[in-house]
Amino acid sequence: MIDNAVPHGRPQKSRSGIRTALAIGAVGVLGAAFAVALSAPANAATTLGASATEKGRYFGAAVAANHLGEAQYAATLNREFTMVTPENEMKWDATEPSRGSFSYANADRIVNHAIGQNMRVRGHALA
- The domains of the chain are located at 13-43, 48-121
Instruction: Indicate if the alpha-carbon torsion angle 33, 36, 39, 40 is positive or negative.
Output: negative
pLDDT band at 32 (very low <50, low <70, confident <90, very high): low
Q: What is the mean pLDDT of residues 22-27?
A: 69
Residue 81 CA to residue 55 CA, distance in Å, equals 14
| Coil, helix or strand at residue 55 | coil
3-state SS, 38-51, equals HCCCCCCCCCHHHH
Q: What is the mean pLDDT of the chain?
A: 82
Q: 87 with 62: CB under 8 angstroms? A: yes
**H runs (alpha helix) in the chain:** 15-38, 48-54, 71-80, 92-95, 105-116
Q: Tell me what pLDDT residue 58 has.
A: 85
Tell me the pLDDT tens digit for each residue of 52-66: 888 998 899 999 999
- The proportion of the chain whose per-residue pLDDT surpasses 90, expressed as a percent, equals 50
Q: Tell me what pLDDT residue 9 has.
A: 59
Q: Tell me what pLDDT residue 20 has.
A: 74
Q: Tell me what pLDDT residue 14 has.
A: 66
Residue 84 CA to residue 96 CA, distance in Å, equals 22
| Coil, helix or strand at residue 93 | helix
Tell me the pLDDT tens digit for each residue of 77-117: 999 999 999 999 999 999 999 999 999 999 999 999 999 99
